[in-house]
Amino acid sequence: MTQTARDNVEMSDAATAKSPTFESIDPRTGEVVGQHPVHDATEVGALVAAAREAQSEWAELGFAERKQCLDAWRKLLSKRVDELAGVICAETGKPLDDARLELILVIDHLHWAAGNAEKVLRRRKVSAGVLMANQSATVEYLPFGVVGVIGPWNYPAFTPMGSIAYALAAGNAVVFKPSELTPGVGLWLADSFAEAVPEHPVFQLVTGFGETGAALCTSGVDKVAFTGSTATGKRVMAACAENLTPVLVECGGKDALIVDADADLGAAADAAVWGAMSNAGQTCIGVERVYVVDAVADRFLEMVTERAGKLRPGGEPSANFGPITMPSQVDVIRRHIDEALQRGGKALVGGQHSVRPPFVEPVVLTDVPEDCAAVTEETFGPTIVVQRVRDADEGVARANDSRYGLGAAVFSRARGVELARQLRTGMVSVNSVIAFAGVPALPFGGVGDSGFGRIHGADGLREFTRPQSVTRTRFRMPLNPMTFSRSKGTVRRLVRLVRLVRGR
Ligand code: NDP
């Protein structure tokens, strides 16, 4: 929870007995841009109950009618991209075009989730096998019921919509708790759904601080989809353990980009700088480390230095990126830069002076000891650490030497996919960065401290369902071992059969 938001809590007027409220603030100017209720556990419980009531009808609608509803919402979002982009800018400070880009992805994912839910989740026959040949076997993927979605502020629409769109398409209701820094974006999403699909109140919003998120975890929801920091992810899991509530945990990363000797260096430098600095580096799958093969390192570093050196943060539309949205992150960024430089690292662009809250200018570091926080911990700022390696295999080994494992990128002409497959991450882009996030059919998620479970794609739809297996007896088997009236020879004959068909 940020100091700013907490400081701005207004206690309710006792006479009207309303919830206390908090303010959302434009990080570029400090201007108040909205006021939202702080929902307590009772209010969260009531909204979860309302979502539950609406859910059964939503599930009964079936895939085709749900698709119509979600398509109506998608069309409304498409028409009003600029309106929602404006809210994103006001609450995160990012440039308008970056907010628009985020919404382009939201719309495409919503289209995919609604359009593919039936194919992925509908009831289908599976082979019953030789031993159970008298059974007809089917599996279908049924909605959990109510899914609690807890989101971060850095991509306040794209990130939670990776859960919301897929959970709704699968037939669930959703109760969404946006970050305390971006409640207005959450409100806009919930209001627009209610406008497009007024007859099905299956998308409810709760706002407030961490306590509201914690209340959602223990509210009796049937699954929690959390996206945020690893530390909070652990707290969410602990809270969900109380009721054995299943969780999806999408956490931070320390993504590496590997540049092989045969890489297109211009493209690699472009991608490294964009991957590290866009959105002021506040991207879970942003590039934080680069391992470049020694033979091309000098040339690559020149290109990165030249490109990063031209970038300017600011609050105006022409700025390359905006401010650090969460004020407390500035101290983390400063600490990482300071330690790297004190321990012998070199700054090729920027340095300690680059941290000028609420903005941080681009910082390119090199030759940083591998155990520095700038190499091991998520920095979440417009900084990048470029390290030389003997060859791409050493780059892979160093990239994998991390407790995180979210995304990665490889630039190589000959060995791109081969190197990608050796990386211990949930996603890799070859000869680009972040491309996997824009492909709706691809599952998105990490390993290790980056969390587990998947949003997006068929796996992302199944994540919000419980598989139900059904067998139906078609005829009686001559050999039935599952009765007390079986003959003495039944099991022996079955052993002979299993040896015949499975023992060879
Ligand atoms: P936080 O972990 O601080 O917060 C995430 C959400 O959890 C917020 O809505 C927050 O509410 C809520 N929360 C806080 N405490 C609790 C609690 N005890 N129980 C339940 N919910 C709680 O993360 P940030 O918002 O700062 O987001 C940045 C992080 O998100 C980075 O680490 C980034 O890498 C990660 N991220 C991961 C992505 C992925 O897909 N893997 C994508 C995008 C970001 P409040 O804000 O009110 O405190």
Query: What separation in Å is there between the alpha carbon of 137 and the centre of ligand 1?
Result: 41
pLDDT classification of 278: cutoffs 50, 70, 90: very high
Q: Measured on CA atoms in the order 22, 26, 27, 31, is the torsion positive or negative? A: negative
How many whole angstroms separate alpha carbon 359 and alpha carbon 349? 15
Per the prediction, the chain carries an average pLDDT of 96
Query: Residue 121 pLDDT more than 90?
Result: yes
| pLDDT score for 15 | 40
Amino acid occupying residue 450? S
Query: Residue 16 pLDDT more than 70?
Result: no
pLDDT classification of 8: cutoffs 50, 70, 90: low
Amino acid occupying residue 484? F
Largest CA distance in the chain: 86
Count CB atoms within 10 A of the CB of residue 237: 17
Relative to the CA of 284, which ligand 1 atom is closest? 34
Which residues contact residue 76 at a Cβ distance below 8 angstroms, ignoring those fewer than 6 apart? 192, 195, 196
Is 250 a residue of the active site? yes
Query: Residue 317 pLDDT more than 90?
Result: no
Amino acid occupying residue 340? A
Give the residues surrounding ligand 1 with Cβ less than 6 Å away. 1, 150-155, 159, 177, 179-180, 209-210, 213-214, 217, 227-229, 232, 235-236, 250-253, 284, 326, 378, 406
**What six digits make up the tokens of 162?**
């990776």
Query: What separation in Å is there between the alpha carbon of 208 and the centre of ligand 1?
Result: 13
Query: What separation in Å is there between the alpha carbon of 254 and the centre of ligand 1?
Result: 16
Question: What CA–CA distances, in Å, run from 11 to 8, 213, 216?
Answer: 9, 19, 22
Three-state secondary-structure class, residue 387: strand
Query: Residue 453 pLDDT more than 80?
Result: yes
Closest by alpha carbon to 276, among 436, 384, 159? 384
Spell out the alpha helix ranges (H) of 357-426.
Answer: 373-376, 392-400, 416-421
Q: Which of 89, 217, 284, 372 is catalytic?
A: 284
Count CB atoms within 10 A of the CB of residue 85: 22
User: Tokens 């211990």 correspond to what residue?
Assistant: 424
Three-state secondary-structure class, residue 424: coil
Query: Residue 3 pLDDT more than 70?
Result: no
pLDDT digits (tens, 9 = 90+) for 80-104: 999 999 999 999 999 999 999 999 9
Peptide bond into 183 cis (omega under 30): no
Domains of the chain as residue ranges with CATH: 3-252+455-466 (3.40.605.10), 256-424 (3.40.309.10), 476-502 (no CATH)
Q: Measured on CA atoms in the order 159, 205, 81, 308, is the torsion positive or negative? A: negative
Mean of pLDDT values over 482-503: 94
User: Residue 332 belongs to what H/E stretch?
Assistant: helix 329-342
